Every structure is written in structure tokens, then in C-alpha cells.
Chains A and B, each alone.
Chain A
Amino acid sequence: MAGDRIPIALGAAALLILVATPGLLSPFLVQFLINLFMLAALAESWNIIGGFTGYASFGNVAFFGVGAYATGVLLTTAELPFALALAAGGIAAAVFAALVGMPILRLKGHYFAIATLGVAETTREIVYNLRITGGGTGLTMPISRSPLPFYYLMLSILLATTLVNWWLSSSRFGYGLIAIREDEDAAAAMGINTPLYKTIAFSVSGGLAGLVGGVFAYWITFIDPEGVFKVSTTIQMIIMAVFGGAGTVAGPLLGALVLSSVSEFLSTQLVSLAELVNGLIVILVVLFMPRGLAEMIRKRQFSLRDFARNFREYRV
């Protein structure tokens, strides 16, 4: 499609620059970019189930955490090489998402949202109480010297996640997911195996989040249940995807870029207020731009009227 050429060209150019330059950047900027890649990859992975399939998961941090812990345990206790441990972490998260998804993907709307929230809380509790995960004291990874491998790893996972989203936006399977989002009964009537489609989408979404979690564990060198299973991580995934545009390929990338820059700037200015501001951003995004930045750019809607359109329609 002709309309896709500019974003693809921009994306390719950005990718080339990102691949070529990390050696030239300051350590601070490299850390910022690794964090940005991580959040963007999480937002894109959430987008598969939340954006394309329309199942608003509020518990994807569970899969991030399972990936982090599976990788961490295999790396430290089993002393596997990192590549193997990471692959196993991704697979563990995908399998976990599929198993959890089979019962709870039968729920809809609020029920699904809260059930996923429950999954995340319960997973944290279980990890906290297991002995192999180090319980409440956490796990310490071997320390690696250079940040550059993490830079390239996160970038590759981000690229892979984005490509999955891109494939969804123009494939038979992706159209099936969109059909489920628009009208699940109609999708089923048209012959789509909706339970299978949803479970695969959930599992892929979880597996990718698990890979991110695995890299995160090794990068951050110390993981504990409180730090890994944070509700705020789920919120970041969701709000970045929604702010940029849920169900689009570029949206979550845009959202992650803008919002993580804002929060990075804020946290250097006022550390204690960073999370507070995150909450405010959630509220403002829902009020003023629930359709997302990507959509507004595409339609060039930037007047005050466009920002107010949402609550003109939905207020009482």
C-alpha cells in the first residue's frame, strides 16, 4: 500500500541509525534506549491481545515476570548459557499464557480484565512463596560488563514484536483477530475458531513479554517479586499502546517513545512525582485522545474540537 511507504521508510532509517550508533552514545543514553526498547516491545506485545484482539488484559506483567524468573532460575541455579535460558523463559511464558488463557479467554469485558489482574497478583504470590525463585529475597544474576549486548537484544526483540504486529495487520490470522474484536459471535459464525485464535494471540503476546522479561532480568542483575510483578508495568504497556493507538503497528512505538521520554525527563526533575504523573497521563489520555496519536496524525486532527470530541460524545 502506498500509504505505508513513509512509515516503513522512517522505521527502516531509525533502525539503521539505532543499529549503527550505540558505541557513540553516552552510557546514560544507552540505558535510556534499552529501557525505551523494553517498554516499546512490551506495549507492542500487549497490542496483540489488547489492540488487535480487543481483549483488554490487565495482567500481562505476569508473563513478563514468568519470563524473567524462568530465565533467572535457569541462569543461576541450572547455570545454563544465557541464550538457552532466555529461549526457555520465552517458551515458559508462552505456555503459561496459553494455559491461563484457555479458561479466562472465555470471559469478556470487565470479567476478563479483572481475571487477568488476578492472574498477575496470584502469580506474584506463588513466586513469592516458592523456594526455587528465592522467594521474597529475590535472585541475583551473574554480572555482565557491557550494556551493548542488552542494547542489541532488546532492539531485536522489539523488532521481532513489531514485525509480528505488522504481519497481523495484513494477514488472514490478523484479520481473524480483528473480526473477533469487532464482533466475536459474527466471527465465530464466519467459521473462525475463536477460542484457538484468542489463545494463540494471548500466548504469542505472553511469550514475547516473557522474552523481554528474560533480557530484563539479566540486564538489571537482580529480580524480586515486588519489582518484577508491578501493576504499574502493565499500566505502562496499556497506556503506551492506547496513547499511540491500540490496534495499529506504529501506535505503541510512538506511545512508548513519547511517554518514556516524558517520564524520563520528569524522573530526573522530580523523582517522587514520576509515578503520580503517570497516573495523570492515564487520565488525560482517556479523556482527550483515546483513539491514539497514530490515528490523529493520520487524519491530521489536532484542533481543540478533536481533543474534546471524546467527551462530547460520551458524557451524561
Chain B
Amino acid sequence: MLLTQVLVNGILLGGLYGIMALGMSLIWGVMNIVNVAHGALIMLGAYLTFWTFTLWGWDPFLSLPVTIGVLFVYGYVLQRFLLNLIVRAQLFLTLLITFGVEVVMVNLARIAWSSDLRQVSPDYAAANFSVRGITVPYVRLWVFCATMVLSVLFLLVLEKTRLGLAIRATSEELRAARLTGIPVAHVYAVTFGLGAALAGAAGGLWGMLFPITPVMGGALTLKSFVVAVLGGLGTMMGAIVGGLVLGIAESFTATYLGPTYPNAISFGLLVLILIFRPTGLLGRRG
């Protein structure tokens, strides 16, 4: 019984890791940028939800579209007017500049919201139900459902729309995409915007389950990276599967080994996967 409970907890958390990693994997796969500011985007999404919830009493699930919209615009502007300037430079430099963006965002958040722990707890936060002795909090279930809906929507955009086609074409061959008339600067910015929107959604949902602080993003960047690598870079299904795997792994280790080593777990997983299956769980070989 405990086993099933732990498994369910892991899966419910894993959905969130999935959409975090989806955004990271998209930005990485298309533009070859490892976005160290990804966690900061998640943090921003969490604070936006906190704001609309605390100031205007909006339900955190209903304010999700607003958070997603704001983060999309923010991501678009960031890529279009800053990252696009050096997007084809060495990997080290693009990684370093997103580091700079992260530091700036975290410190602005410190000024705007202070370093206190914040929480988004709607009045249904404590409600739960039991099936055959397994307790499931409603919020966790709805958060999981929201992540699945967002993942499916995102995959549809990427696979079925002209925009998705343009993103995939640009990802495959920048010069050829430009020759066929794709406005690559715009497509890059939209791609980053989509990644940021997913991060923002993850943040908005995260805030209902865990406390929000300006520095919450660092560990989440690491987790998003681990999940993206775990699932197989550039495969979008991989990110979702990887998220579930990390969620389950964390849930089991927290139950049987204690909750003191959350980063060590994801880092250990990263090293294992890089050694034994460098292309990821669902990645292609070679």
C-alpha cells in the first residue's frame, strides 16, 4: 500500500518536472542554448500567480493563462533583443549570458518581493480523497491534470501547426530555413517565448504545492536539465517521461532515505544516465 502511495505521489509531482523540462528541452534543442535562467522564469511565474492570488484573489488555476501570456511576452523580448545578438557564439558564452540574466532576475525579485517565503494556498488546498487507502490531495491531482493538458497542447502546436513546422525547420538547419523565407529571428524569439511560457505555467502550479522564494529557481534549473537529458534531448515525449521518472525517483528516495538530499538524487541520476545511456531514455542512438 505504501509502495502505491509513494508511486502516486511521484507521478503527480513528475508532471510538473515534465513541463519544466519541456521548456528547457525546446530552447536547448532549437537554439542550442542551455537556459540557466529557466529556474528564474519558473520563479517569475510563481510570483505572478502569488500576486494575482494575494492582491486580487484570483484562483491560481484560472490565472494560469495570464501567467503564461506574460511569460511568453517576456521570453519573446528577452530572446529577440538580447539573446539573439549572440545566439550563434560559443556554447560557453550563451550559457554565461543566461547566467547573467538569472542573477539579475533573482535580485530584482528580491527587491520586488523580498526574500520571505510566500505561499499560494486557496481554500481547497487541504482537501483530499482516498481510493483503496491511497490518499490523493485534490490540488496535486489538478496540478497534474493541468500539466498534462499543457503538454498535449504544446505538442499539438509543435507537430500540427505551421508555426511548429517553422520551429522544427529552423532547429534542423538555420540557413536553409532562412532561405525558404522563415523569419528566423522571430521564430527563435517565439521558441524562447514558448519555453518561458511553460516555465511560467510550471511556476504558477509549483506555488500551490511548495513555498516561493527568489532563489527557488536554482535547484529547478538543475532538475529541468536533468530531466531533459534523462528523457533524451530534443525529444518532447522524452521530457515528459523523464519528468515522471525523476518524480518517482525523488518520491521513493524521500520515503526510504529521507528528504535531505534532493539535489544529490537528481545529480546522481544525471551521472548514471550520461554514463549508461548518453542519448537519454527515448533518444535516438548515435
Contact = CB atoms under 8 A, between A and B. Distances in A.
A125 B93 contact: no
Given A122-B263, A283-B82, A287-B86, A103 B104 contact: no
Interface in B92-123: 92-93, 95-97, 99-104, 107-108, 110-111
13 contacts: A56-B92, A122-B264, A125-B261, A125-B262, A235-B99, A242-B96, A272-B110, A275-B103, A275-B107, A282-B96, A283-B100, A286-B93, A311-B86
Q: How large, as a class, is the contact surface on chain A? A: 35 or more
Contact of A315 (B34, B88, B263, B270): B88
Contact of A316 (B108, B184, B271): B184
Interface of B: 28, 34, 82, 84-89, 91-93, 95-97, 99-104, 107-108, 110-111, 174, 184-185, 188, 218-219, 222, 225-226, 229, 260-264, 266-267, 270-271, 274-275
Interface of A: 56, 58, 103-104, 107, 109-111, 113-115, 117-119, 121-122, 125-126, 128-129, 231-232, 235, 238-239, 242, 272-273, 275-276, 278-283, 286-287, 290, 310-311, 313-316
Interface of B is mostly: helix
Contact of A125 (B91, B100, B103, B263): B263
A278 B105 CA distance: 12
A235 B101 CA distance: 12
Nearest to B28: A110
B88 A118 contact: no
Given A287-B97, A315-B87, A316-B188, A282 B103 contact: yes
Nearest to B87: A316
Contacts of B263: 118, 121-122, 125
B44 to A, nearest CB: 15
Contacts of A315: 84-88
Contacts of B107: 273, 275-276, 279
Contact of B34 (A114, A276, A282): A114
A58 B218 CA distance: 13
Given A287-B97, A290-B93, A110 B34 contact: yes
B109 to A, nearest CB: 10
Q: Which of B82, B184, B185, B264 gathers the greatest number of chain A CB atoms within 10 Å?
A: B264
Given A103-B271, A114-B225, A290-B89, A279 B104 contact: yes
Contacts of B188: 316
Q: Which of A122, A242, A281 gathers the greatest number of chain B CB atoms within 10 Å?
A: A122
Contact of A286 (B100, B222, B266): B100
A118 B185 CA distance: 32
B103 A279 contact: yes
A149 to B, nearest CB: 33
Contacts of B110: 272
A286 B85 CA distance: 10
A311 B111 CA distance: 31
Contacts of A290: 86, 89, 93
B88 A117 contact: no
B87 A314 contact: yes
Contact of B222 (A56, A114, A232): A114
A232 B219 contact: no
Contacts of A279: 100-104, 107
A104 B274 CA distance: 9
